[in-house]
Every structure is written in structure tokens, then in C-alpha cells.
Structure 1
Amino acid sequence: MFKPTTIKDIAKALNLSTSTVSRALRGGYEISEETKKIVLEYAEKINFTRNPIALSLKERRSYSIGIIVCEVANVFFSQAIAGIESIAYNKGYHVVISQSHDQYEREVTNIQHLANRSVDGIIISLAAETKDYTHIEKLHEQGLPIVFFDRILESMQTHKVTSNNTQGAFEATEFLISKGCKKIAHLANAPQLSITKQRQIGYEDALKKHGIPVKNEYIKYCEHGGSEKGEVELAVKSLLNLPQKPDAIFVASDRLSMGCLAALKKYNTGADLVIAGFSNSDVVDLLKPSLSCVRQPAFEMGRIATEMLINLIESKYPVEEFETKMLNTTFQINE
């Protein structure tokens, strides 16, 4: 049976007290540099790592961070997780990842599970189905540090990281207009999500700037974020069946973009439409019809969210001032 080396074992081997070894490993100023060197060299030699369970019991911290995203397979979220991990591991924190699959009930279960596992804090991007935020608000009120990224809860007083969704949507829609399109539809995520509102504003602002009327029948919401089978296809089909069929579609997320292109291929009408949307996937370069896309700085968003969360976790005083950081998007033309 595996039995990890303890501080007591090191103390016995080096003929030192356990408190001296513990302080040396922590880098305590009261221990001489020579003793620190002896302890650290021996610890490295035997591949010693401090027991995280014992450490968490002593310091009342688990040195772990919970992450909740809708889908790890989504390129945007996998890039954001890479950014989260790049900071977390360097700061001595482990990362526990869970997926909501854009389902409210799964999000509730995941956040409760993470809290029960005594994570020190949570980074979350809201599920498309979530309209009741009690499960998050209660934990926040109890003192659990929470940071939002991408799909944020604007009403909660905490740190948030997002991208300039309105500007990104404006640029994508204006690109479609520059291609001569006048009947531009908008395939949107769940209406209550922060990103949905921000991206719709950008879409409508671009239409208004160029004197094109905003038509409600051209805006289709996907309440489940495209996670339910056939949801995106049904929305695209309803657009294609309109008396005035769109000549372009602005799509508001990665998953919706893929679903939209699949539906257009099925109905063999893709060649007639110009498509632009949010996507961080490199696969879009190979797609037909082509998809010009708004790219978000996902890695940077994850990195900043983690720095914000660790600052909350490690603050010796209650934090009362919070920041919402907005990062710029870029627009990639694929023709």
C-alpha cells in the first residue's frame, strides 16, 4: 500500500524538529538559509510534496478552484480553461472542471458538488437555461469567492471578465452589410444571457447605422444554446421559410454557428447566404459556406478570471470594490 513521505520522515532523516522542517518548506524567515537549503534539497531528492489534505486542514483551504462551463469540447471554453490552468498551477492551486451542458439543473448540481468538496473559489460561465440564480447567490452570500467570465451575472457584486460582445457583433453585421446584404437574420442564444443581449445590441446598431430596419421575425433565439437536438436546425428552417428569406445570417455563438452551417447544408441553401458569427475554432477556415468570425481572447479571459479569483481567496480583508474587465475581440474574414 502506498504511504507518502511526511514532514516527520524528513525531520527524522535530517535530525531536525518537524516544526523546523515545516518552516523551511514554507520559506519561513526565522529559519537560516543553510537549513532551508538542506531541507529543500532533501525534499527534492525524495520527490516530496506537501500533503494537500493535511495542508487544507491546517490552513482551512483546499488549494483547489472549481470551474463550471457549458462544454469543455467547445473551443472557446477549452482555450479559457487553458488560461485558467496557466495561472492556477503556478500559484499552487488545482483545478476541478465540470460541465453544465447548458442545463440549469446540471449547473445547480455542479456548483453544490464543488462547494461540498470545499473548493476555495469558483469560476463560472452561466448555462443557457439558467434564469434563477439562487444557487449561486446563496453560496456567494456565505462567503464563497465567485468570478464570472463570458456569460456573466450582472446583478452580482463580484469580479467579472467578458469580451466586447457589442463591438464584435457590430463588426460582423457591418461586414455582412458590406457584402451587399440587406435582409440579415440573427441566430441568438438564450435571451436572458448577458452575451445574447450585448450581441443583439451590436447587430441592431449596425443595421440602424445603415438604415436597415430591425425585423423581429429575423431574430431567432435558441433557449437551450443549441444543446437540444434539432434546436438550431428548427430555428434555421423557420428563417428559410419566411416570405422574405434572409440573404445573410449573423450567428451569436460557436455551437450555433456549427449547427447553422449543418442545417444550411442539409437544406442545400448555403451558397445563397453569407454567414458571420462568433467562433474561436480553426475549423471555420475549412467550412463551406465560409464563416467569417468574431474571435474572443479566451485564454486571456481565463487567465484574468483566475488572477481575480485568487486575489479574492487570498485577501486578508473583505473585498468591497469589484471590477468588470472587457477585452476586445478581433474579426476574421473568410471568403
Structure 2
Amino acid sequence: MYKAATIKDIARALDVSPSTVSRALRDSHEVGTETKQKVLEYARQINYHYNPAALSLRSRRSYSIGIMVADVANSFFSQTINGIESIAYERGYNVIITQSHDSYEREVINMEHLANRSVDGLLISMSAQTVDYAHVTRLHEQGLPIVFFDRILSDIDTFKVTTDNFRSAYNATEALIKKGYRNIAHLANAPQLSITTERLNGYKAALADNDIPFNENLLRHCYNGGRDEQEVEQAVNSILSAADKPDALFIASDRISTACIRALNQIKGADELAIIGFSNSDVVDLLSPRISYIRQRAFEMGQIAIEMLIKLIESKYPVYEFETKLLEAEVYWQK
């Protein structure tokens, strides 16, 4: 009868301790590079597969990580998840992906579900509808490791990674100004989101630095994060019918950018409007009217977020010093 190889078999063959083999298989920093490579190579030769259930019984970990995003169909979030998985699986962790669909109620239910499944930690990007953060605070206070990415919460002390939203919005708005546009409208996400505030502030700062007064009539929020296309269409129509009709439009999120382009397709003369928006879509170059776009480093953001979370999970001592990492975004101008 076939008998699967064990950690003890590998240890005996390589003349090292079982604990060394276990640490090497989990890519622990406690094992030297040479020993780690020797263990991994031998494990591949004998087709060894570690048993997560057995590991969790010994370490009291599930080796599972929960991920909360708004929508996996969003190119930005799918790319972020790819970044998370690229590191997680290498480090011996499985991931459980849940979607809030920008619903507060769904976010609460999903987070409770993940916590009840005894995940070792959570990676969270907040829902557009969430204004009450008690469910997140409670899990954090109970000691569950949590890292925020993209849409972060400033009031909770933990690691965070997001785009430098202020600088990205500032650069995009200033570039429009340098191209001669003065009446620049802004289509924003839900006002309670961190990314909304940061991008709005960057937009306002660029206007101010170029002696252009901020015009409240050229600002509209999309409270459903672009999920409600009728809401976006109404916002676009409202802006374009303003007394100070805009000559350019800055859009502050991926999903809103796509919905906005669809709405503009129904409006005569919309192709005369200069448009720039956040978008990580692979087909953004094919959209009409043409849209210049701000592409976030989504894959890298996912990698950084999971590294931060694993650091919290595997730390032998409480962590009290945290970092909020800001990533630069790239601007692509359509001719």
C-alpha cells in the first residue's frame, strides 16, 4: 500500500530535525537559505505535499486568509487578488475571497463568516456604503490580524497600503489644466471612502495652485460606487447641464469610469469633452469616447498587503508600530 512521505521522512533523509523541515517548507526566516533549498528540492523529488490540517493542529493556525473586496469583476480588485495569491500560496496560505458588492450588510455578514471559519487574518477593502465600522473594530480588538488595502480606515491601528490618491488626482487635474482646460468637473465615489476624500483633495489642490476656484456645481458623488448605472448617468447629465458647462472631466474610480463612458455614448457632442479617470481595465484603450486613464499598481498592492498580514500573523510578539504605504500610479494620455 502506498504511504505518503512525512516531514519526519524528509528530516531523516537530510539529517536535520523535523522542526527545521517544517520551517523550511513554510519559508521561515529561521532557516538558512542553503538548508531551505535542500529541503524544498528533496520535497519536490519525493512529491511531498504538506498537510495544512495537521499543521494547523500543531500551530493553532488555519493557514487560511480571508479577503474582502467590493467586486472581483472589477479589474483593479482582480489584479490585487492575483498579487495576494502570488505570495500567499508560496508561504503556505490558502485564500478565501468574498465580495461585499459595495453593500454594508453584505460586508458585515461576510466578515463574520470569515472570522467564524477561523481565518488567520483578513485583508479588507471597505464597501462604498459602509459608514459604521463597529464590525471591523470589534474583530480588530479581539486580536484578529487585519490589513487594509486601497479603501482604508485611518482610525484602526494596523498596516495599510493604498495608492497615493492625493498625488495621482493632483497630477491628473494639473495635466488637464496645462492642456488648457479650466472648467474641470469631478465625478467622485461615495464620500465616506478614504480614496474619495484623498482624490477630491488632490483635485481641489491642483485647481487652487493654478488659481482656478473650486466650483461645487462641477462635483457629483456616486454613492453606489458606479454599481448603479442610472445614478452615474444622472450625475453625468447633471454636470453637463450646469451653467458652467465643463470642458474636461476627472473620474475617481474604475467602475464609475466605465459607467460614465457608457452614459456619455448617449450624449451628443460628448467626444469633445477631455476625460481622465482611474481604470485598470485591459480594454480601456478601446472605449469610446476616448479616455485617458490613471492605472494603479494593483498587483504590487496585493503583494505588499499579504506580506504585511503574514508579518502580523507570524510575529511572536505583539506589533505596535505600523506603516501606511502609498504607491504611485501611472497616467496614460490618449491622443
TM-score by length of 1: 0.88
2:66 is matched with 66
> Paired residue for 1:88?
88
**Structure 2: how far apart are the matches of 1:38 and 1:325?**
34
Give, in whole Å, the separation in 1 of the partners of 2:226 and 2:39: 58
Which residue number corresponds to residue 33 of structure 2?
none
Q: Using a 3 Å threshold, how does the CA distance of structure 1 residues 27 and 130 change in structure 2: closer, same or farther? A: closer
What are the superposed Cα offsets for residues 97-126 of structure 1, whole Å, 9 maximum, x if unpaired? Answer: 111111111111111111111110011111
Q: Percent identity?
A: 56
Q: Which residue is 1:166 aligned to?
A: 166
- 1:273 paired with 2:286, answer no
Q: Distance in 2 between matches of 1:27 and 1:89?
A: 15
Separation in structure 1 between the aligned mates of residue 241 and residue 203 of structure 2, nearest angstrom: 22
2:228 maps to 228
Superposed CA offset, 1:7-30 (max 9, x none): 59x87xx9x8xxx9955752699x
Give the match for residue 205 of structure 1: 205
**What is aligned with 2:145?**
145
Deviation readout 1:198-220 (Å, 9 max, x if unpaired): 00011111111121111111110
- Matched residue, 1:326: 326
- Output the CA distance in 1 between the equivalents of 2:284 and 2:108: 33
Q: 1:189 aligns to what? A: 189
Higher radius of gyration, 1 or 2: 1
The answer to whether the Cα contact below 8 Å between 2:229 and 2:259 also exists between their aligned partners in 1 is no
SS of equivalent residue, structure 1 residue 256: helix
User: How far 1:321 sits from its partner (Å)?
Assistant: 0.5
SS at match of 1:316: coil
- The equivalent residue for 2:22 is 26
Q: Which residue of 1 aligns with 2:246?
A: 246
Does structure 2 retain, via aligned residues, the 8 Å contact 1:261–1:270? Answer: no
Q: CA deviation at 1:57?
A: 2.1
Structure 1 residues 157, 183: CA separation in 2 closer, same or farther (over 3 Å shift)? same
Q: Provide the residue aligned with 1:257 in structure 2.
A: 257
Give SS of 1:230's match.
Answer: helix
Q: Deviations over 1:234-272 (max 9, x none)?
A: 111111222222111100011011111110101233212
Runs of 4 or more, structure 1, over 6 Å off, are 37-40
Structure 1 pair 246/318, CA: closer, same or farther in 2 (3 Å)?
Answer: same
CA distance in 2, matches of 1:255, 1:97: 19
Residue 178 (str. 1) matches residue 174 (str. 2): no
Q: Which residue of 2 aligns with 1:126?
A: 126
Q: How many residues align?
A: 321
Partner Cα distance (1:221, 1:51) in 2: 49
Query: Deviation per CA, 1:85-105, whole angstroms, max 9, x where unpaired?
Result: 111111111111111111111
Q: How far did residue 273 of structure 1 move?
A: 0.7
2:297 paired residue number: 297
Q: Which whole-Å CA distance do the structure 2 matches of 1:280 and 1:40 have between them?
A: 38
- C-alpha deviation, 1:39, in angstroms: 12
**Partners in 2 of 1:289 and 1:179 — Cα distance?**
18
1:159-182 alpha-carbon deviations (Å, 9 max, x no partner) = 000111111101111122223221
Instruction: Report SS of the residue matched to 1:85.
Output: helix
Q: Which runs of 5+ in 2 are unaligned?
A: 25-29, 31-37
* CA distance in 2: counterparts of 1:239 and 1:40, whole angstroms: 62
Map of 1:310 onto structure 2: 310
> Conserved in 1, the CA contact under 8 Å of 2:5 and 2:46?
no
Give, in angstroms, the shift of residue 193 of structure 1: 0.6
**Offset, 1:48:** 3.9
Q: More deviation in 293-302 or 318-327? A: 293-302
What residue identity is the alignment partner of 1:26? S
Q: CA deviation at 1:44?
A: 5.1
Structure 2 counterpart of 1:32: none
TM-score by length of 2: 0.88
Once residues 89 and 97 of structure 2 are traced to their aligned partners in structure 1, the CA distance between those partners, rounded to angstroms, is 14
Amino acid at match of 1:294: I
Aligned counterparts of 1:226 and 1:39: Cα–Cα separation in 2:
46
Counterpart-to-counterpart distance in 1, 2:39 and 2:218: 71
